[in-house]
Structures are given as structure tokens and as C-alpha cells.
Amino acid sequence: MQRAGAARPVGGRATAEGGLDRLFRLRENGTSVRTEVVAGATTFMVMAYIIAVNPAILAAAGLDTRAVATSTCLVAGVMTLAMGLATNRAFAMAPGLGLNAIVAFSLVGTLGLTPAEAMGVVVTEGLLITVLVLVGVRKWVMDAVPEALARAISVGIGLFILFIGLRNAGLILFLPGQTGTVDGLLALAPLNTWPIAVAVLGLVVTLVLMARGVKAAILVGIVVATVVALVVPGGVAALPAEPFAGPDFSLIGQIGFGYWAKLGVLTALLSVVSLMLSDFFDTMGTLIGVGAEAGYLDERGELPGAQRALLVDGLGAAAGGFVSASSATTFIESAAGIATGGRTGLVSVVTGILFLLSLPFVNLVTAIPAAATAPALIVVGALMVGVLSERRGGGDGSSIDFRDIGVGVPVVLTMLVMPLTFSITNGIGAGFVAYALIAVARGRGRGLHPGVAAVAALFLLYFARHVLFGVTF
């Protein structure tokens, strides 16, 4: 019985909270509506930098900044909502760093695809991942690729992103062949321009805030650097004529599949497979890593219900390509909301809604210069190398024996060929070919997983395409 004079709960609020509790099993997971809402907002604040960084990278592919920002918010919002509702886990999704670099610098920059054709590759790999999940071959694929190579792919992409960040900051430059030097030289740029000053300031702010444990350090660093860029001389940045012009949905559905004819079946297939491998293992690492922090894993270190999360993630890759935002994937920054107590899909629902509420303000992203987003790329790229310190089953300490030629050489080739050749595909291919070659040379060819052997053979044909097929790319 209600005590006389005691405050009565508001009927609508009690009903709403009860409905959310039943839908997301809040009490069962030891959480509350307030905790989940705060966690969702935290995840959004930590991830929001992607609204600026994704357009900055895809601008290199010739895509409009405002339109990409719109697509970024749209796919992040919709797919994060879908993830929360389908899995009841606090996983958030957005276009992945590294995956967008493949689109901009490998598919468009190196292979010469149009942006629409490059997004066609993304849609294809997303649908392929979805099929692999539906037919139950996820475990076979995971078993096929050695753990060391899977980690090396993540590290290589991280180093590639780091390299792009240093370049966008203007901190490194390429010197064509000079007398007395090698033909082509990377050098530290003279630190005497305003764009470099803006980038360095943004990097300092980001690192200091991260060292102090500030959750939104990357986003704050971008904002501070942008404000400084707007006030310093030299035209580093300028506000758009219509800062609140609203979203631009023109990129939705702008995809093409003419890349099969343009590249040929072999190169097209390897492009799809390379993107798929990067996407697939990045997702698996994120789900396991974030799941461990949230307490989702069982006693065997596996994620119960992973099939649903992988299915949504695969569909997110296809959806990201369809709206020209590049592949949407599960974000490691989901751990920020979990660290504040979030445990259920309500966290993801809140995060997704906040991305959708950002749509009216996307034109402000066009005011953010490359010098302001470069620090985010540098920091994120550097942190991705941290996968080398992880052991299978948790804990710190590298499980990769670099003294073993059969492991160390393929891993190092994978990590370094990516940034040095400006191609994720080349790095993955070099690692697979070296791994298979050394295994055969050691007399262990029969023990080589058929999946690894098949991928290595395809990449061997890819590297020999100039001689065998007379191609020019």
C-alpha cells in the first residue's frame, strides 16, 4: 500500500521504464534506464569524430563532404539501432577507419575505380560476409586465417591510417628523386605553416586529454583544432555559407558493379576478398574485445549469440556501401559506454538516435579542415598497433613469435607493405603468400589450411598479373 503523503510515480514514466525493462532486460543485467542513457550518450561522444573523419578520408575519392557526412550519420544511426534491438548488446556501428581508406586510396586511388564502383565492391563484400554468416562458415573462416596474420592485418591498417594522418597534417612530404639521394624520399616537412600548427595543437590536446582519461578526447581535439583553424591566418578553414543547410542524401544508391569488367575477374575478386578479410577480422576482434569488457563472454571465451551481431555487422557493410559511406562495422569505441556501466541494447538505441539527430547539422562538417582531423587518424592508427600486445584468451604480452621465420616474416610483410605501397590489398597478399611459401618450404604444406592455400594462390596470380595477363594496374 502506498504510504500517505509519499510521492507517487508518474504513470507514463513508470510504464515507459517498465516497458524498456522488459524489452532490454535491464534489471536482469544489473542496470537502469538512466545508466543506459548516459552510457549511450558517452559512446556517441567518443564516436562522433567519425562524422568529420570519414568525409575527410572519402574526399580523396572525390566524394562530397556534406553528402558523406549525411550518409555517415544515417548508416551509423540506423545500423546501431538495429544492432541494439537485434542483439540486446551495447555494440555501436559506424563506417570503419581503415575500411574507408581501402575505398579511397586502394580501390579509387590505385585501381582507378569510380566512387560508385568502389562502393559496389563494399556492397559485394558486405553481402558475402552476410552469406558466410547465414550458411555457418564463420568458424571455418576464422580457423582458416592464422591468428598472427589476422592481427597483422589490423596493425597494418593502423600503420596505414597513421601514415595518412601524418600526410594530412602536412608533417611528412614526398620529395621526388634528388641528386645524391634515392629516387623518391619521405621527409619531415618544415614546421613553419599554419596548417601544421593546427594539426600539432590538435594532436597535443588529444594526447593530453587521453592521458587524463577524458572519454571524448578525440572529438574535443578535432573541435579545438577546428576553432583555431578558423581564426588563424592563411585560410586554413572557413565556415560554409549555409552552415545549417541540412543533410544531403544524394549519395544514397550511387553504386555500380562495373568494376568486374574494368578490373577483370581475378583482381576484382581479390579486391572483394581483401576488403572482406579486413572487415571480418576487425569485427571479430571488436566483438570479442568489447564483449570481454562487458562480461558477455562465456567460460570458453566465446560470445553467445555472436551470429546475430555478425549478421547485423555484415548487413551494415552492405548498407554503408549503398549510401556511399564505406563499410559500416562494429566500433571498438563501444567500450566507452560499457565502461560507464552500459550493458544492454538500450545503450545502442540511444547512440543510434543521437547519430540521427545530428543530421540537420552535417554541413558544419565542411568547415573542418584535414589538419583538424589528422590528429584523430594519427592517434587511432597508433592505438590499432596495440593488438600485438594481446594474448589469445586475454591478458597482455605478444603471442607472435617474430623469431620464427614462418610467422615473423609474413606478419612484418603484412604490416609494412600496406603503408609503404599505399595498398591494404598488397599487404594482405604479401602476408598470405609468404606464409604459404614458408610452410611449403618447411615441408608443412599438407598441414596448411586449404583456405589459406587458396587465398595465397589467388594473391600469387594477382602479383603476377602484369606478366601473365598483361594488365597495367
Distance CA 48, CA 42 (A): 10
Residue 70's alpha-carbon distances to 100, 333, 360, in angstroms, are 15, 21, 9
**DSSP-derived secondary structure letter, 185:** E
Give the residue, 392 or 31, on which the prediction is more confident. 31
**DSSP-derived secondary structure letter, 94:** E
259 in Cβ contact with 321 (< 8 Å): no
Give the pLDDT of residue 1.
Answer: 40
pLDDT (tens digit, 9 = 90+) per residue, 259-289? 999 998 888 988 898 888 778 767 776 787 6
Positions of E strands within 301-344: 328-330
Distance CA 322, CA 325 (A): 8
pLDDT beyond 70 at 133: yes
Which residue type does 403 have? Answer: R
Q: Who contacts 252 (Cβ-Cβ below 8 Å, separation ≥6)?
A: 71, 74, 322, 323, 324
pLDDT beyond 80 at 457: yes
CB neighbour burial string for 438-465, b if at least 16 within 10 angstroms, e if fewer: bbeeeeeeeeeeeebbebbebbeebeeb
Give the pLDDT of residue 407.
Answer: 92
Q: Is 0.85 topped by the overall pTM?
A: no
Average pLDDT over residues 19-26: 87
Q: How far is Cα of residue 104 from the mean position of the Cα atoms in its chain?
A: 13
Distance CA 257, CA 121 (A): 7
Give the pLDDT of residue 359.
Answer: 96
**DSSP-derived secondary structure letter, 206:** H
Give the pLDDT of residue 12.
Answer: 58
